[in-house]
Amino acid sequence: MNMLARNAEPHRSQSFTSSQRPAEEPQHKENFATVQSSAAVPGVTLYRLASVAGMGSALILLVNAAKRSSLIPTTDLTQLLAPLAEILALGLVVGLFLAFGRRAGLFGTIAFVINFIALASLEGVEVVINLVFSKLPLTTIIDLRAGPLGLVLVVSSFLFLFGTLAFVVSLAVGRTVPRIPLALYFIGAVPIALRAFVPEWALDLGLVVLAAAIAWLAGWLWICASTVDDLKPENVTTLTAQN
């Protein structure tokens, strides 16, 4: 009898353990899903903040275009707002990179870094043009452009052109971000980068096109912020059509 009792107890213990596993596994899966959901919230918030920054950048670019076309007067406020376009655009660029650009691997990272540096340097160009040159006589501006400052302005402009192209390509190769606003983004950046060599109307048109592209990308990022991780190239058309 003692032998039978000893043999029976391991079976009873094994049966008890087996009966507990089905109850524990759903609980484990539920906890894992909760952790995943909590981790996704900061990402969605970040993408939507980047989208808001992009909308702000687009609005300021339109103000710049209207100011240059004399549709609105040039004031201290409009001059102060002008450099903020690049600062806010940096927010959108960071959001697009984290959501899609890093999928391009090393090339995407390099393109992002170059574009980030280019936008930061262009911020300095806008400060000089809107807050320094606007207060100086033409002869002084010509003298300054003839020195090292002129070289810095030219290098910053061409770095912006190259950085924009690299970043647009890094997003386009993933076939996730819509191609049309990416193309408009680069087209609008060209006359801005070459502002010293293009007529005024081309620069104004470039500002409007770039504003439209940024607003498009920002709106699209807002729409797909909660589904970035699940977004595949084949789902882009469906998502765009539904919204």
According to the model, what pLDDT value does residue 220 have?
95
Predicted confidence (pLDDT) at residue 11 exceeds the cutoff of 60: no
Predicted confidence (pLDDT) at residue 14 exceeds the cutoff of 60: no
Q: How far apart are CA 178 and CA 196, in angstroms?
A: 31
Which alpha helices (DSSP H) does the chain contain, by range? 2-68, 76-81, 84-99, 105-127, 138-146, 148-172, 179-193, 200-223, 236-242
Q: How far apart are CA 115 and CA 90, in angstroms?
A: 9
Q: How far apart are CA 7 and CA 11, in angstroms?
A: 7
Band (42; pLDDT cuts 50, 70, 90): low
Q: How far apart are CA 231 and CA 238, in angstroms?
A: 10
Which tens digit of pLDDT belongs to each residue from 103-136? 888 999 999 999 999 999 888 888 888 888 878 8
Q: How far apart are CA 33 and CA 40, in angstroms?
A: 11
Angle made by CA atoms 65, 67, 71, in degrees to the nearest 5: 95
